[in-house]
Structure 1
Amino acid sequence: MTTARERGSASLWLLAIGLVLVAAGIGGAAVGAARVARHQARVAADLGALAGAVHALDGPVVACDRAATIVSANGGRLTGCTVDGLDLEVTVEVAATPLPGLDRSATVTARAGPIRA
């Protein structure tokens, strides 16, 4: 037997549980968006470094231009590029917006060049 004082308490519990589930879903979506941006930055950096390393003998300008083209085609922005002999190291940044109004970026550095023993 319920009293008049307890009437409607189930609605409040359902509302509270619903809000917790919505918050968990939003948090999960934010983490997912950040991970996707990180993977996108990693792919863009790896492909940009490989494409630029092919042109390392043509000079740093040509190699870095080629890397920048590939990085931008993969949704990234080239923020650093250095050529050291036959090695090319690129730093790539990808913008991420895990939640509206929360702008972040994922930054990754990749190196490509000959295998060293």
Structure 2
Amino acid sequence: MRAIEERGSGSVLVVAAIGILLVLVLAGMQIGVAGAAAHRARGAADLAALAGAGAQQQGADPCAVAERVARSNGAELVSCAPGSADSLRVRVSCPLSVSWPGVPATAVASARAGPSDATETGMPPAR
């Protein structure tokens, strides 16, 4: 009689295994999307800082140039701080294409471009 009572229990185990597998696939997908967005944000921050610092050396508005470059690379300029000696510090954010509740929806990165400065890094310049 015991075999009859356990009939169908395999189906429950298969459904549970499929559910666990689905959660793992979705988590892996979210990690991949976050990694790609972080990479895109770092690249956009680097390019925006370099373009802005170059514009600053030419006498143009570095933050306007940095914002244009960030947008053209799929990012949004969050902050822009021109420094001394033609340096520029920027912070950008890139939206994640897939996001879940409780998980950040953007990747944020910052970059600095310009000559090395002992007052900014706390270390003497390299010789």
Q: Which amino acid aligns with 1:44?
A: A
Deviation at 1:57, TM superposition (A): 2.2
Q: Does 1:38 align with 2:38?
A: yes
The runs of 4+ residues in structure 1 deviating greater than 2 Å are 97-103
Q: Which amino acid aligns with 1:104?
A: A
TM-score, structure 2 length as denominator? 0.81
Q: Which amino acid aligns with 1:25?
A: V
Counterpart secondary structure, 2:105: strand
Using the alignment, how far apart are the partners of 1:113 and 1:99 within structure 2? 35
Residues 6-85 of structure 1: matches in 2 within 5 Å?
Answer: 6-59=6-59, 62-84=61-83, 85=85
Q: Which runs of 5+ in 2 are unaligned?
A: 117-124
Partner of 2:108: 107
TM-score, structure 1 length as denominator? 0.87
Partner of 2:120: none
Deviation at 1:26, TM superposition (A): 0.8
Q: Deviations over 1:58-106 (max 9, x none)?
A: 44x6211111111000000011111112111111011225335666111
Using the alignment, how far apart are the partners of 1:70 and 1:114 within structure 2? 20
Contact 2:99 2:105 in 1 (8 A): no
The structure in which a higher percent of residues are strand is: 1
Using the alignment, how far apart are the partners of 1:99 and 1:114 within structure 2? 38
Q: Which runs of 5+ in 1 are unaligned?
A: none
Using the alignment, how far apart are the partners of 1:26 and 1:9 within structure 2? 26
Q: Which amino acid aligns with 1:79?
A: V
Using the alignment, how far apart are the partners of 2:93 and 2:21 within structure 1? 32
Q: Which amino acid aligns with 1:113?
A: G
CA RMSD of aligned residues (A): 2.1
Number of aligned residue pairs? 116
